[in-house]
């Protein structure tokens, strides 16, 4: 089953009261214990100040910058171990973002592996924060997020970006366990039209050089999956407008604009690996995704998922392998002539009869699928579903190496390589753009220990993935 659903998650924790901060001023070269004044007037000047922040006696830190104490260009060093961190109303600027990192030469750890329910259900939460660089100073081994490892961990969030938080960089972090690794979206609010599409958008998110493992749910949950939001009931709604409940108010969640997810390693997670939705201009590249969907839930089983309401997407140079579900799922939209590309990826070895690349776009989305290697899939190499006449325009499929489909059983007939249903159509390249279809890895003569690259005498020629 390839229908995208809103994940059911627990209500977010009550934010703790503000705590006294220990602040190191690089201007004074001394340490002071102060509480930021609530009467400071807002200023816009750029600073180069550094502050060292530590947890309170219970392991918590709350920073509410509603008084604009912290300025663009400031550096906040989170020192030591924290059970939970809550940061609100913190804003840098485009030219001078605020940096949040580990102190030089030390390791910062955030999270509560013993969390078994109740408050503080996040390792770190950002609310209404903008122009932030967050993560390890130089490497992902210096900034650790350790989520719940208990039976209730599916309701635990490792990193959350909420309430319009945007212009945000997440980098150089190791995340383990918890429910969801990185969660970044804004729910619609009844009395806040700025949270309704198309009244605003969240801009500029990059996630890179992050390792995520052991999450119960998705490693990354980026963008809102709800097609509509019922403001009256406060719940997601996925059916067509013809099914709206009389007297209820429905809106669509706002979208991200310009998201880049790259150079990450995602592995051993319970649901989707990298899940995206409701994004215009999305690039997913140079990621490795391995052993996802360990829950074996057919509704949450994409290695990489280009989800609903995505437009202008580019998925390239990824390595997705050895997982339970489908290697790549596409639900994107063709609205306003949006373009989509899936190029030079290696998709190999999944289980349980699942297809390799599954296309189920809307509004006649057209995807150019080129120079990928799709090998040893449980089901078909590529499946195109044009349900409800949503993908009647032909998909463009060129220069791909399609090797040994239907490992879960069934004859390798011509439609095992590219399978259509529900009116889906495609156009294959010819001549130098032709796809190569080979019934076995042995016949393909590829190096299974080196990214399925062609060996001497291989039938692949120039088709397929190249690292």
pLDDT of 7 reads 37
Question: Cα dihedral sign for 72, 75, 76, 81?
Answer: positive
Residues for the chain: how many in total?
A: 467
Rounded Cα distance between 358 and 295, Å, is 20
Interval 305-319 mean pLDDT = 98
Percentage of the chain exceeding pLDDT 70:
90
Give DSSP secondary structure letters for 384-427: EE-GGGSS-SPEEEES-EEES--TTSS---GGGTEEEETT--EE
Rounded Cα distance between 295 and 247, Å, is 38
Tell me the pLDDT tens digit for each residue of 101-144.
Answer: 999 999 999 999 999 999 999 999 999 999 999 999 999 999 99
Task: Residue 327: name the closest of 350, 295, 360 by CA.
Answer: 350
Tell me the pLDDT tens digit for each residue of 233-256.
Answer: 999 999 999 999 999 999 999 999
Rounded Cα distance between 356 and 135, Å, is 33
CA angle 239, 261, 78 (to 5 degrees): 110
CB-neighbour burial class of residue 155 (10 A; exposed 0-12, middle 13-18, buried 19+): buried
Domain borders along the chain are: 1-324, 335-467
Q: Copy the structure tokens of residue 462.
A: 């120039």
Report whether pLDDT(67) > 60.
Answer: yes
Average pLDDT over the chain, rounded to whole?
A: 91
CA angle 428, 430, 433 (to 5 degrees): 85
Report whether pLDDT(21) > 90.
Answer: no
pLDDT of 351 reads 87
Report whether pLDDT(273) > 80.
Answer: yes
Percentage of the chain exceeding pLDDT 90:
88
Tell me the pLDDT tens digit for each residue of 178-219.
Answer: 999 999 999 999 999 999 999 999 999 999 999 999 999 999
Please give the C-alpha separations between residue 85 and each of 108, 167, 385, 391, 467, in angstroms, as whole numbers.
Answer: 12, 20, 44, 45, 39
Rounded Cα distance between 175 and 177, Å, is 7
**Long-range contacts of the stretch 427-432 (C-beta < 8 A, 24+):** 427/394, 427/395, 427/396, 427/397, 428/397, 428/398, 429/396, 429/397, 429/398, 429/399, 432/399, 432/462
pLDDT of 46 reads 55
Q: DSSP class of residue 444?
A: H
Report whether pLDDT(220) > 60.
Answer: yes
Residues ≥6 apart with Cβ < 8 Å to 175:
144, 145, 147, 158, 159, 181, 182, 210, 211, 212, 213, 215, 219
Tell me the pLDDT tens digit for each residue of 27-63.
Answer: 322 233 233 333 332 334 456 899 999 999 999 999 9
Q: Is omega for the bond preceding 58 within 30 degrees of 0, making it cis?
A: no
CA angle 293, 297, 302 (to 5 degrees): 45
Tell me the pLDDT tens digit for each residue of 413-445.
Answer: 999 999 999 999 999 999 999 999 999 999 999
User: Are 16 and 62 in contact, with CB atoms under 8 Å apart?
Assistant: yes
pLDDT of 18 reads 33
Point out the least confidently predicted range of 58-62, 338-342, 384-388. 384-388
CA angle 416, 418, 420 (to 5 degrees): 100
Report whether pLDDT(26) > 90.
Answer: no
């Amino acid at each position: 089953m390839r229908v995208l659903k809103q994940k059911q998650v627990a209500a977010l924790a009550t934010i703790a009261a503000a705590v006294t901060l220990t602040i190191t001023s690089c201007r004074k070269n001394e340490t002071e214990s102060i509480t930021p004044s609530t009467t400071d007037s807002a200023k816009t000047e750029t600073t180069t100040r550094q502050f060292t922040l530590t947890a309170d006696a219970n392991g918590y830190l709350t920073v509410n910058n509603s008084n604009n104490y912290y300025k663009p260009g400031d550096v906040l060093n989170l020192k030591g171990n924290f059970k939970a961190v809550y940061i609100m109303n913190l804003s840098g600027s485009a030219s001078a973002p605020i940096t949040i990192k580990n102190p030089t030469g030390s390791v910062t750890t955030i999270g509560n592996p013993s969390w078994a329910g109740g408050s503080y259900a996040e390792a770190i939460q950002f609310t209404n924060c903008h122009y932030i660089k967050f993560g390890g100073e130089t490497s992902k081994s210096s900034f650790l997020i350790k989520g719940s490892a208990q039976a209730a961990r599916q309701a635990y969030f490792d990193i959350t970006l909420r309430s319009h938080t945007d212009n945000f960089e997440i980098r150089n972090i190791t995340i383990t366990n918890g429910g969801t690794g990185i969660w970044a979206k804004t729910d619609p609010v009844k009395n806040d039209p700025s949270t309704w599409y198309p009244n605003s958008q969240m801009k500029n998110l990059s996630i890179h050089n992050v390792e995520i493992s052991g999450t119960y749910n998705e490693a990354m949950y980026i963008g809102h999956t709800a097609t509509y939001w019922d403001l009256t009931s406060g719940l997601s709604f996925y059916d067509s407008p013809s099914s709206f409940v009389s007297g209820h108010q429905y809106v669509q969640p706002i979208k991200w604009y310009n998201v880049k997810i790259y150079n990450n390693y995602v592995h051993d997670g319970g649901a989707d690996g990298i899940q995206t939705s409701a994004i215009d201009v999305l690039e997913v590249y140079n990621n490795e995704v391995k052993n996802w969907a360990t829950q074996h839930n057919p509704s949450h089983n994409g290695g990489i998922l280009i989800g609903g309401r995505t437009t202008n997407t580019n998925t390239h140079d990824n390595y997705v392998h050895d997982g339970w579900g489908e290697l790549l799922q596409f639900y994107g939209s063709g609205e306003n002539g949006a373009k989509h590309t899936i190029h030079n990826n290696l998709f190999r070895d999944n289980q349980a009869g699942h297809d390799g690349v599954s296309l189920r776009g809307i509004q006649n989305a057209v995807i150019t699928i080129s120079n990928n290697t799709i090998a040893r899939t449980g089901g078909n190499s590529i499946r195109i579903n044009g349900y409800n006449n949503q993908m009647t325009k032909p998909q463009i499929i060129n220069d791909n190496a399609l090797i040994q489909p239907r490992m879960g059983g069934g004859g390798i007939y011509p439609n095992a390589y590219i399978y259509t249903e529900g009116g889906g159509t495609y156009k294959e390249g010819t001549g130098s753009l032709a796809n190569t279809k080979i019934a076995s890895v042995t016949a393909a003569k590829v190096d299974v220990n080196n990214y399925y690259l062609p060996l001497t005498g291989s039938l692949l020629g120039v088709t397929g993935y190249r690292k």
